[in-house]
Structure 1
Amino acid sequence: MFLKLVLLCFLVTVVAIEDTNFTYNGFQSSHLYLDGIAELTSNGLLRLTNDTKQQKGHAFYPNPILFKNNINGSVFSFSTTFVFAIRPQYATLSGHGIVFVVSPTKGLPYSLPSQYLGLLNDTNNGNSSNHVFGVELDTIMSSEFGDINDNHVGIDINDLKSANSTFAGYYNSDGKFENLTLFSGYPMQVWIEYDGEKKKIDVTLAPIKVDKPKQPLLSLKKDLSPILNSSMYVGFSSATGSVYTSHYVLGWSFKVNGEAQKLLISELPKLPRFGEKKEDKILTVGLPLILLSLVFMITLGVIYLIKRKKMFAEILEDWEHEYGPHRFKFKDLYFATKGFRERELLGTGGFGRVYKGVMPGSKIEVAVKRVSHESRQGMREFVSEIVSIGRLRHRNLVPLLGYCRRKGELLLVYDYMPNGSLDKYLYNQPNVSLNWSQRFRIIKGVASGLFYLHEQWEQVVIHRDIKASNVLIDGELNGRLGDFGLARLYDHGTDPHTTHLVGTVGYLAPEHTRTGKATKFSDVFAFGAFLLEVVCGKRPIEHVGENESEILVDYVFECWKRGVIIEAKDVNLCTDYSIQEVELVLKLGLLCSHSEPLVRPNMRQVVQYLEMDIALPDLSLLSLSSSGLTFGYREFFEDFPLSYPSDMDKTFSHTSVSITDSLLSGGR
């Protein structure tokens, strides 16, 4: 009798050992034990749950497996690997996860769905009598079980409060941790290994197309001998909560006393396409509604496109085709400036408003100036000049990139200068005050740029609006002369034409106000006012009383006449300045401000004076007098209101005046 019992035990052991090695590259003929809502699809997928709420599904290998050595009672080493995918109804929400489970029974009849994962229930959770070992791939954070987050891997022993857990992910070949989202819908592979000698559990996770990482994701030193019975069942458990979710297993391999056989990834069944439904009636019921919605959306789209086309309509005449590379689309400028919204406004002047923009695609920062043009007369000539000026290239000029014409306005596009205009560093107790070396470098830079405009380019460029608010400061605090919206061109050796009088009071040369003709000499006059402005920290004309104005050039002249010209400097310039350089610039400012054009130096000489290559003429030898230093506004503007540069602290900001309608006619 005893011999028969031993023989029977031996036969059971042999059968058990024979059944401890299986591999499923798909489950077409697997004969798995299924319960709950688990099912096998026609193409061999194990679908543990479907699109239902508060349900559970189980799938177990049908035969028991011998896990213990009957001689010493220790648990054998074992290994398993499987490929899974979790596809929720919504991209950011999931309906709980999957558990690989080793259980004393085939099926888990008293388990609950939702946070219990179909594994345990509210009365047996944590009981040592469960004899359950599991590895959970959990997509919901259940605080009652101490979950670390809603996307983790955990080792469970008789309890849904994991003995150890970590964020879902894997270590790449460089040892760097890469995050994975368990419910992304894409297949992933898991390796679970128990070393019977070291009493250690390793869990590894990776995307399906990544080889098994060398470093495990999760490890736990634990002897499973007190946990597992001699004979156990292996399988999967999954559950849904309040969100529809499908849990799939594509392939599975298991082995006792050895490494589980590798799955053939290329032979695994394919997952359904994202959003594919099982029931055809959903399409038949929803199709009319979908078509109706589609027609409605197409109608709205057509209406939107018509409005959008009208909104971004531009005037494009035949003659503009040759300027194609220099013409910007209004649509691009509109989106670059975020619809020309107020938050992007850099400044407002007499000739338009200026906005900061970031060009779509290239991400280049620009400044866009909107200039009104009600009359089309002379527009072709004006655009031609704009495009020509756009070819100017000098380190002390702000590049004019191009233009756009639309309805009743012209838009000029410049490079954006991050530090704004020079005037904000000079007036109204600025937060940042420029020292003398910075001011002198800016002065020489502007002089070099103006010399380039007058003599070094292929045509003569008359700027017509030189002042501190039109000098921009780049990222390295270099001065760049900008705002060429008023500039005029003419060939070297020819005379400029009479035009409308434009500019800013205080910078207008006397002969310019009489004739309306802007010349290189009138630019030099404005540059002289600019020199005094930068050194003295005062505007060319300032109110000192209710009906009184102070003329800066008169003030500097009086200081020079009294032999104390250095007293005219900005009070913010402390001791760290060069007396020789300050005197040079002040005297040069007086010389450039002379009422007689031919007495003023040209810009080549101005640059030479500033570089001290040639000596400045002795002003006393020029018979300089207060009558020779007059703005001319006393003579010509007594009956007209004056406009002063506003206190704008934004890029391109200025206030200019145009008084042609009162004094002159003709030109543009």
Structure 2
Amino acid sequence: MAGTAASSPPASGSAPSATSPSSNGSLSIGVIIGISIGVFIGVIIASCVVLCLGCRRKRLKKRGSSRRGFVLPIRVNGVNSSTIMSDSVSSPPANVASKGNSWWGGQEKQLIPSSLGVTKFTYKELHKATSNFTALVGQGAFGPVYKAVLQSTGTTLAVKVLAEQSKQGDKEFQNEVMLLGRLHHRNLVNLVGYCEEKNQRILVYEYMHNGSLQQKLLDQNSEPLSWDQRVLIAQDISRGLEYLHEGATPPVVHRDIKSANILLDATMTARVADFGLSKATDSPNIVSGVKGTFGYVDPEYMSTNSFTEKSDVYSFGVLLFELITARNPQQGLLDYVHLAAMGMETKEDWAEIMDSRMSGNCNLEELGDMANIAYKCVGPMGARRPKMRAVAQNLCNLGKRRSKEQVIMPVMKQDLPPARSLPVGERSKPVRSKKDAGIPPLSPPRGYNQYDPGSDMV
């Protein structure tokens, strides 16, 4: 018993000394291994995050530098989104969601380089100027247009906001700002500034008091444009396009010439607007999906998928006929024109297609000349269409010829019969009374061709 008792304590005391260090050691090693694995996984995750952020910053930096070197410009506005051909025959524009913040919660993407020199408005400033975006004056393919009055200067502006459901997007917004930021002409719309803040894309223009040419032509409740106004508008548009094709460096093709994209200021001066689809002729993307508005698009462009300045010439020819007839080109205007041309004997016969609301109050000779020019512009072969410079010169000859007539009349006044009061609207009628007065007819302007749909304009 004693031996057993004496030997028991060491046995019971030796058990803790033999097992406790082993269990504590294994516990410590397990904790260390667990912590090490956790730290290792954390380091891997952190490294992946850093690498992703670094790659994303490099991509954004590369895109930003490419935009800063972007020389071509560009556009948008429109009539009705359902009339835009790109809705159905080309790939859809960039998703509007691309305007928002990144999924990292980073800063909003900036499309316009600060070095461009175009005024950047704050969202708060435009919010106040448009009375909380309630002063709506129009709606286009890009989005709603509001009238704005800057509180600081009292200047009246037009503010165009990109709508979320719009077929347009960041590309058109960027093109419009970059193009109009470097091109300036009295017959191009004047871009005052832009805003890209709070996920918004906003364009700010000089306010055009008389709206669009489309409204003036197709509104049956308003007074029709006079013949003199139509001639001046045609001349203004041709000068604007001539500048784009031959005055800009590099030259620019508008690609969406139509009455809805021609704006009229307070003096009825016409200005070409909506440059979101425009391209510089040296652009590497000269071949692209067919874009434009049905009824105005060059058939040759549709078949070749390649546009040139002659594509704008075709659209301008359609616009001239719309100006003459006040008919919508999307409702068979050119079919109507071609039928009229089949029975044409003299250029004055074009009078049968004149806007009926004018009741014949126009200069029939000038009408024939303008229709003659338009018919050559819409020829099926682009190579045989005239250049915009020739078109502009021929249209300007209409006004020059009238100016010569006004100079000759006072000189011959002593030989004229007693003056008579002319009925309203007869002021610009052909010079039949001059023949009766013995005044020799004026010779046509240099280079003028008689009516021949197949001939090229000089």
TM-score category of the 2 structures, normalised to the smaller one: 0.5 to 0.7
Contact 2:279–2:286 (Cα < 8 Å) also in 1: no
**1:394 aligned residue:** 185
Cα distance in 2, alignment partners of residues 361 and 554 from structure 1: 52
**1:361 aligned residue:** 152
- Does residue 463 of structure 1 match 2:248? no
For residue 328 of structure 2, the aligned residue among 530, 534, 539 is: 539
Cα distance in 2, alignment partners of residues 467 and 318 from structure 1: 28
**1:103 aligned residue:** none
- Does residue 340 of structure 1 match 2:133? yes
Structure 1: which amino acid aligns with 2:375? Answer: L
- Does residue 608 of structure 1 match 2:401? no
Distance 1:424 1:590, change over 3 A: same
Contact 2:176–2:275 (Cα < 8 Å) also in 1: no
Counterpart of 2:196 in 1: which secondary structure?
Answer: strand
Q: Any unmatched runs of 5+ in structure 2? A: 1-105, 398-444
Distance 1:416 1:622, change over 3 A: same
**1:586 aligned residue:** 371
Contact 1:373–1:408 (Cα < 8 Å) also in 2: no
Cα distance in 1, alignment partners of residues 303 and 152 from structure 2: 49
- Does residue 517 of structure 1 match 2:306? yes
Distance 1:368 1:526, change over 3 A: same
Whichever structure has more helix as a proportion of its residues is 2
Shift of 1:516: 3.9
Contact 2:238–2:391 (Cα < 8 Å) also in 1: yes
Q: Deviations over 1:166-197 (max 9, x none)?
A: xxxxxxxxxxxxxxxxxxxxxxxxxxxxxxxx
Contact 1:327–1:403 (Cα < 8 Å) also in 2: yes
Let me know the Cα RMSD of the aligned residues. 3.0
Counterpart of 1:572 in 2: which secondary structure?
Answer: helix
- Does residue 416 of structure 1 match 2:207? yes
- TM-score, normalised to structure 1, is 0.41
- Residues 216-255 of structure 1: pairs in structure 2 closer than 5 A: none
For residue 572 of structure 1, the aligned residue among 336, 342, 357 is: 357
For residue 441 of structure 1, the aligned residue among 222, 226, 232 is: 232
Counterpart of 2:452 in 1: which secondary structure?
Answer: helix
- Residues 143-158 of structure 1: pairs in structure 2 closer than 5 A: none
Q: Deviations over 1:108-132 (max 9, x none)?
A: xxxxxxxxxxxxxxxxxxxxxxxxx
- Residues 624-639 of structure 1: pairs in structure 2 closer than 5 A: none
Which of structures 1 and 2 has the bigger CA Rg?
1
Percent of aligned pairs with the same amino acid: 36
Cα distance in 2, alignment partners of residues 318 and 464 from structure 1: 22
For residue 622 of structure 1, the aligned residue among 433, 436, 454 is: 454
Shift of 1:367: 1.1
**1:489 aligned residue:** 280
Structure 2: which amino acid aligns with 1:329? Answer: T
Cα distance in 2, alignment partners of residues 462 and 472 from structure 1: 18
Counterpart of 1:530 in 2: which secondary structure?
Answer: helix
Whichever structure has more strand as a proportion of its residues is 1
For residue 478 of structure 1, the aligned residue among 256, 269, 272 is: 269
Cα distance in 1, alignment partners of residues 323 and 312 from structure 2: 16
For residue 194 of structure 2, the aligned residue among 397, 403, 421 is: 403
Shift of 1:617: 3.9
**1:527 aligned residue:** 316
Distance 1:373 1:614, change over 3 A: farther
Shift of 1:565: 2.1
Contact 2:162–2:200 (Cα < 8 Å) also in 1: yes
Q: Deviations over 1:212-254 (max 9, x none)?
A: xxxxxxxxxxxxxxxxxxxxxxxxxxxxxxxxxxxxxxxxxxx
- Does residue 562 of structure 1 match 2:343? yes
**1:321 aligned residue:** 114
Distance 1:459 1:381, change over 3 A: farther
Structure 2: which amino acid aligns with 1:604? Answer: R
Cα distance in 1, alignment partners of residues 215 and 206 from structure 2: 19
Structure 2: which amino acid aligns with 1:593? Answer: V
Cα distance in 2, alignment partners of residues 459 and 338 from structure 1: 40
**1:506 aligned residue:** 295
Cα distance in 1, alignment partners of residues 251 and 147 from structure 2: 30
Shift of 1:385: 5.9
For residue 430 of structure 1, the aligned residue among 207, 216, 221 is: 221
Structure 1: which amino acid aligns with 2:225? Answer: L
Cα distance in 2, alignment partners of residues 423 and 381 from structure 1: 22
Distance 1:324 1:448, change over 3 A: closer
Distance 1:605 1:495, change over 3 A: farther
Cα distance in 1, alignment partners of residues 453 and 265 from structure 2: 39
Structure 2: which amino acid aligns with 1:569? Answer: M
Distance 1:403 1:318, change over 3 A: closer
Contact 2:108–2:199 (Cα < 8 Å) also in 1: no
Structure 1: which amino acid aligns with 2:133? Answer: F
Cα distance in 2, alignment partners of residues 618 and 352 from structure 1: 45
Distance 1:591 1:324, change over 3 A: closer
Q: How many equivalent residue pairs?
A: 299
Distance 1:610 1:324, change over 3 A: closer
Contact 1:608–1:614 (Cα < 8 Å) also in 2: no
Distance 1:465 1:621, change over 3 A: closer
Contact 1:553–1:590 (Cα < 8 Å) also in 2: no
- Residues 152-191 of structure 1: pairs in structure 2 closer than 5 A: none
Structure 1: which amino acid aligns with 2:333? Answer: L
Shift of 1:373: 7.4
Distance 1:334 1:520, change over 3 A: same
- Residues 367-382 of structure 1: pairs in structure 2 closer than 5 A: 367-372=158-163
Distance 1:406 1:497, change over 3 A: farther
Shift of 1:442: 0.6
**2:27 aligned residue:** none
Contact 1:463–1:486 (Cα < 8 Å) also in 2: yes
Distance 1:336 1:382, change over 3 A: closer
Moved more, 318-327 or 520-529: 318-327
Contact 2:117–2:181 (Cα < 8 Å) also in 1: no
Shift of 1:504: 1.1
Structure 1: which amino acid aligns with 2:310? Answer: F
**1:193 aligned residue:** none
Distance 1:327 1:511, change over 3 A: farther
Cα distance in 2, alignment partners of residues 464 and 346 from structure 1: 25
**1:598 aligned residue:** 383
Cα distance in 1, alignment partners of residues 228 and 128 from structure 2: 40
Distance 1:514 1:388, change over 3 A: same
Contact 2:375–2:453 (Cα < 8 Å) also in 1: no
Counterpart of 1:331 in 2: which secondary structure?
Answer: helix
Cα distance in 1, alignment partners of residues 373 and 176 from structure 2: 31
Contact 1:390–1:399 (Cα < 8 Å) also in 2: no
Shift of 1:337: 1.2
Q: Deviations over 1:286-313 (max 9, x none)?
A: xxxxxxxxxxxxxxxxxxxxxxxxxxx9
Contact 1:584–1:616 (Cα < 8 Å) also in 2: no
Cα distance in 2, alignment partners of residues 611 and 500 from structure 1: 35
Contact 1:540–1:553 (Cα < 8 Å) also in 2: yes
Counterpart of 1:448 in 2: which secondary structure?
Answer: helix
